Each structure stands twice: as C-alpha cells, then as structure tokens.
Structure 1
Amino acid sequence: MREAREAFGRIFEVPAGYLNTASVGVPTTATADAVAVALDAWRHGTGRATDFDGVVAAARAAFGTLVGVPAGRVAVGGSVSPLVGLVAAAVPDGARVAVPVGEFSSVSYPFAVQGRGITVTEVPPAELADADADWIAVSVVQSLDGRIADLDGLRAARGRGTRVLLDVTQAAGWLPLALDWADAVVGACYKWLFAPRGAAWMAVHPDLDLVPHAANWYAAADPWGSTTGLPPVLPDEARRLDASPAWYCHVGAADSLGWLAGLDLTAVHRHCGGLADRVRDGLGIAPTGSAIVHVDRPDAAERLTAAGLAVTARGGGARMSFALYNSDDDADRALKALL
C-alpha cells in the first residue's frame, strides 16, 4: 500500500516495503510536482526551450557538490555508457584496463569494444587497486551485491600512475563522496538521486583530455548562438562534452540533487547503511555499511516478494536496497520473510 513517509525533511509517497531503489528510486513529492508543472507547461504550449537552462545548470552544480568537484568540471549526458565511451575512446592503443569481476556492463563494455589492442581484464575486487593496468574502471558501489570499492587503494593507484574511472550510480545520494582526485566520475540520476531517468553526468579531471565526439549546439560556448554554422566554438571546461539535455529529467534532477547536496550525507549513510546492516546482522552476515544487501539464497526473492516487499532477483538470490524513505519496519519485514 502506498503511504506518505517523511524523511530528511521531505515527503515520499512510497509503498511500504519498497526495497528496490538500486533499480529505480522513488522521488519526493516536491520533485514529482516540479516535473508535473513542467509537463503541464509542455502540454499546454506555454513552456519555452530557454526555460530549462537554469535547471540544467543547477543539476550540474549539485552533482559536482555530491562528488566533490566544481561545476566547471561536470559534463551533462543522458546515460552512463556514452560518457564512459568518451573516456574509452581516449585510452591509447594497446592500453591495459582492469575492471572487477562482476562489474556492471555499462562500465566495462565501452572499453571492451574498442579494439585497437586494448585489453580489458577482470580482476578479483580485493586485488583491483593493485592491478597492473593503465586504467581501472569500477563502480564505487557494485550493483549486484553492494560491495563498496576500496577508494583509498584506488586513489593510491592513481598516485602511482594508473588512471581511474569511477561510476557512482549506486552510491551518489547516500554515500559521502570526495572524488576530485579521480580522472572521471560518472553517474546516472534515477537511483538514490531520485530523478527521472534520462540524465547523467561526468566529472572530468583537468589532467584528462577528452575529444567531444558528440559535439553539438548545446556544448558550444554560446549554445543559443550556435544552432547553425561553423566553426564550432566550444568552452574550455567540461561543458564542451555535453549532450543536449532531456529537459524534464533535469527539472527533476535540479530539485532532487539540489536538496540532497544540502543534506548531511554522513547521517544519510548512517540511516541507509544502518538499515541494511540490520538485515545483515539478522542473517548472520558481516556488516559492510553498504545500502545494498545481496542474499545468496535461491528462494530469497520469492519469499520476499510473497511478503509484499519490492526487491530484485539477482545473481541466484535477492538484492535489497535501502534508501532515505525506508524504516526499521521495512528491514524487520525482510528478516521475517527470510528467517
């Protein structure tokens, strides 16, 4: 049953037992209302294209805050893999790329299809930071099981000369992040960032030189003055890599990410990771602090679903994910269904 839940100063109309944020996050009522207003203007022909410049800029800046970089280092995209593709295209011929075993394909595939003598090797997660590689590409939090990457080890690897790409799609919004040291940080909007799917961002280190393969009018120094004609005049910042934004997704993103960027993310992490660890403790699994729990039992997803909980069947078991709107009751219902 859908109910109104207050969390961190906002209201969510989310079903009890919704433990599926790692698939799709549920927006706050304020975010959903902001999108509805924009859609109503579209429906009645009162909206204008220039109306969206401010929300795109606001969402860009908020993503930068969430990962610890200034807005000038953030590029706008529609999803993660095309942004990763810009990085993969810049990897030199013959480069060695390391990814953890089980990495989400939107991170690994863009490197794996390059050819040009580039090799992509799957490495046990615990050994990733010490991999003999030119590049490491990894999710900060793994989609399958919630494993949190060894960020200190990865930062040390970059200090030794290995370049690092991080995907924060399953981490941004609940895990405090300070990733200004990484070469590229990509993330999509629709998990713990609670925005409509269709927006993504990439923070680019000043040392990383990328070709804007999808150069377009929106990536120009003066977008509205660059809809026709040559030559392209692009800005000297990450915005030169922008794709033309999905407007209504950025309306939601500006509202949601702006709110999240102002929260105490240490408290958010304590809440989300604490609920997940409550379940781990009840199941005899060591605590990790991750908001994602994977239960490696063939009947887990069936039992949880039968108990009215929204989860995802993954990896021969069940994946549960805890967000700001979840409660002790959600965790206890999951434990009751599995014990």
Structure 2
Amino acid sequence: MPVKEYSRVWIMWDPIPGWLNTASYGLPPRRAFEAMQAMLADWRVGRTSWEGWDTATQRSRESFARLIGVPSADVCVGAQASQVLAPVAAGLAGRRFLVPAGEFTSNLFPWLVGSPVRTVPAASLADRIDSTVDVVAFSLVQSADGTVADYAAVVAAARAHGALVVVDATQACGWLPFDGSLADVVAASAYKWLMSPRGSAFAYLAPHVRERFVPFAAGWYAGEDVHDSYYGGPLRLASSARRFDISPSWPVYSGTAPALEVIEEIGVAAINAHNVRLANRFRDGLGLPPGDSAITVVDVPEAEERLRRAGIRAAVRAGRVRASFHIYTTDRDVDAALTALTDG
C-alpha cells in the first residue's frame, strides 16, 4: 500500500498518541475490538450458540497460515507461544539444542526442562551450528533489542548439518515478511504485532516432524470431527496439525480473526516499510545509524522519566528504553518522543 494511503489506514485504530510499545502488546484494529465486544454481548444474554463464535478460530488459523506462507492444515491453535511449543519440547526431549544467549524464555524454558541446551551470541548463531547440534531454536526478532536474525543463514547452516529449525516469530509476525515453510516449527503469540487479544497463539508444525510430537493436551477440539468427539473412545484425533489444538477461548479468537485479516488487507510488506521508516526516523533523530527493525533500543540519560513526562509509553529492557513502531504509529508520535529525549 502506498504511503499516501496511510491516512485511510490510521482510521482503523483509536490510539492515544505516544504508544511506542507494540513489542509489549499491540493495539486492536477497531473491527477486531468491535467483533470481540459483539461476541461478549451475545454471551452476556445467551443470544446464540457457540458454533458461530468458533468460526473465528478457523478464520484465524487460515489467516496466520497465509501470513507465513504455509498450509493451514499444518497450523495448530493455542493460547501462548510456550504452550504451543510444549509438545515440540516433549517430542524432542534429550536432543541437543542451540539457542541464542539472552533468548526470551518462552523459547528457552521448554527446552531446558528436558534437553541439553547450549547458548551462543545471537550474531554468531549460524556459524556455531555443527554436527553437535540437533535443534536450533531462535527468535526471528529478538525481544530485548529488536535484532533481526539472519533467517536464511541459520536455516542453511541447520540443513547442512541435519539440524531442525524452531522459530519464535512472536516479535516478527505481522511486520516482517518471512517464509515460515523454511523452518520445521514456527510459533507465535498473537497479542503483539498481530494486534490480537492476549490468549491466542499459533504453531506451524511441518508434517515431516509432526509425527515426533505427542498431543498430550488433546481434547474434543483436537478430534477429526469435533462434533463427534464429545464423548467416549476410541481415540480419533485429527490427521492434520489440528490434533495439537487446544479448545480456544471464543472471545479471544473473535478478536483475533479480524485483526489478522486487517494485516492481510494492508500487506506485511507495506507495514514493514512503514514501521522501519519510523524506527529509522527515531534513530536518525538520536544520531544513530539506520537499522532494519521495527524495534530499537536507546541509552539516553533519564530516558524513561523523560518519556513518561511527555506521555510517551515505551518499555525498558536491560536498563535501556525499547521503542517499537507499528502501523498505527505516526510521524508525530516519533517526533514527540524525540523532543522528550533531546530537549534540555
């Protein structure tokens, strides 16, 4: 979408100026918020049965699959990144993992529970993959500082040594274009850059590795036919990745489906161009070189207090301010933050 059309895009949101913290949580498009409110209103008075609400779950699955370029049959739905990674961790228990130092713990703790894990600097991850590595697990975009991984290099090194690739795309999906099919597993929580209510998450589970994983959390919603899976045996799980589904939160997925569909309408490439441009406007105003991320960290004296006084909401990670820019962020937001950090 051309930049000149962004004024039409911005009316889809209702942000209070100064929100630079999407890396903590994203703001819902108006239609997503309204869809969730409509579902809650129906629930409050018992207006309808649940089946209509549940159509949003499949819409969400299909939209996520399109966003990362994989078949929807290979995507399971869940609640959080660590939860959708749990069967992966169980299926790969005892394998040797290589993980970036400082990795967000949703993509670390599941492996540490049952496997040997070696950590290396994120910048050297691809170079450190060798025959001693069975699985390389990493965030496509690092939560702490916004560093974008060299996805192609890591995948190439892993394939050269027969290692599996597990990607946490929570801080990437929604603004960074990437081909999920290059990995073996891609997990993402949807409440950040996918701008969904907290409590929806997805995992791409490639068919060639899915057979290693056991769906211990399976319930009626993981059945081949959910309406024929309410009672009794025998076990009749879905043949697709749906066997790893957990029963979804209907209010959450009611808001998730329209949020993901808005991203598809705008286009991830257009969102990427907008976000990175604003991040680089911010970096330039602070005398920093341009980058390739929608997340940037700055070390300015009293930065947290200066931003707070100006009404700018950002995060602090490892003692530095972390600012994150998404499709609803404006040049005015960036300039207000720069004024707060550079005046006086």
| The one of 127, 135, 140 aligned to 1:130 | 127
- Residue of structure 2 equivalent to 1:149: 149
Q: Shift of the alpha carbon at 1:6?
A: 5.0
In structure 1, distance between residues paired with 2:226 and 2:109: 31
In structure 2, distance between residues paired with 1:227 and 1:7: 46
Listed as ranges, the gaps of 5+ residues in structure 2 are 1-5
| Structure 2 letter corresponding to 1:107 | N
CA displacement 1:14-56 (0-9 Å, x = unmatched)? 0101101111111111111111110000011113121123111
In structure 1, distance between residues paired with 2:48 and 2:298: 47
| Structure 2 letter corresponding to 1:188 | S
Indicate conservation of the 8 Å contact 1:299/1:317, yes or no.
no
User: Mean alpha-carbon deviation: is it higher for 305-314 or for 292-301?
Assistant: 292-301
In structure 1, distance between residues paired with 2:29 and 2:141: 23
In structure 2, distance between residues paired with 1:10 and 1:154: 39
CA displacement 1:69-114 (0-9 Å, x = unmatched)? 0100100111110111211111152x21111111101110000111
Indicate conservation of the 8 Å contact 1:73/1:238, yes or no.
yes
- Residue of structure 1 equivalent to 2:89: 88
In structure 1, distance between residues paired with 2:341 and 2:260: 34
SS of structure 2 residue aligned to 1:305: helix
TM-score of the two chains, using structure 2 as the length reference: 0.93
Indicate conservation of the 8 Å contact 1:7/1:324, yes or no.
no
How many residue pairs get matched? 331
In structure 2, distance between residues paired with 1:288 and 1:310: 21
Q: Shift of the alpha carbon at 1:10?
A: 4.9
Tell me whether 1:276 sits opposite 2:279 in the alignment: yes
SS of structure 2 residue aligned to 1:146: coil
Tell me whether 1:299 sits opposite 2:302 in the alignment: yes
Q: How does 1:203-222 map to 2 (within 5 A)?
A: 203-208=204-209, 209=211, 210-222=213-225
Q: Shift of the alpha carbon at 1:130?
A: 2.4
CA-atom RMSD, angstroms? 1.5
- Residue of structure 2 equivalent to 1:44: 45
| The one of 115, 118, 123 aligned to 1:121 | 118
Indicate conservation of the 8 Å contact 1:80/1:187, yes or no.
yes
Tell me whether 1:245 sits opposite 2:242 in the alignment: no
Q: How does 1:70-81 map to 2 (within 5 A)?
A: 70-81=71-82
Identity level (%): 41
In structure 1, distance between residues paired with 2:35 and 2:267: 23
Q: Which 4+ stretches in 1 moved above 4 angstroms?
A: none
In structure 1, distance between residues paired with 2:242 and 2:157: 28
| Structure 1 letter corresponding to 2:59 | A
In structure 1, distance between residues paired with 2:7 and 2:25: 19
Tell me whether 1:100 sits opposite 2:105 in the alignment: no
CA displacement 1:192-242 (0-9 Å, x = unmatched)? 111111110000111112211101100000111111101111121101110
- Residue of structure 2 equivalent to 1:233: 236
User: Mean alpha-carbon deviation: is it higher for 199-208 or for 292-301?
Assistant: 292-301
TM-score of the two chains, using structure 1 as the length reference: 0.94
Q: Shift of the alpha carbon at 1:176?
A: 1.1
Indicate conservation of the 8 Å contact 1:296/1:315, yes or no.
no
Indicate conservation of the 8 Å contact 1:139/1:167, yes or no.
yes
| Structure 1 letter corresponding to 2:123 | A
In structure 1, distance between residues paired with 2:251 and 2:81: 18
CA displacement 1:157-204 (0-9 Å, x = unmatched)? 232111111111111111112111201000111111111111100001
- Residue of structure 1 equivalent to 2:269: 266
SS of structure 2 residue aligned to 1:99: strand
Q: Shift of the alpha carbon at 1:7?
A: 5.4
Listed as ranges, the gaps of 5+ residues in structure 1 are none
- Residue of structure 1 equivalent to 2:55: 54
Q: Shift of the alpha carbon at 1:309?
A: 0.2
- Residue of structure 1 equivalent to 2:325: 322
Distance change >3 Å, CA 279–CA 9, structure 1 → 2: closer
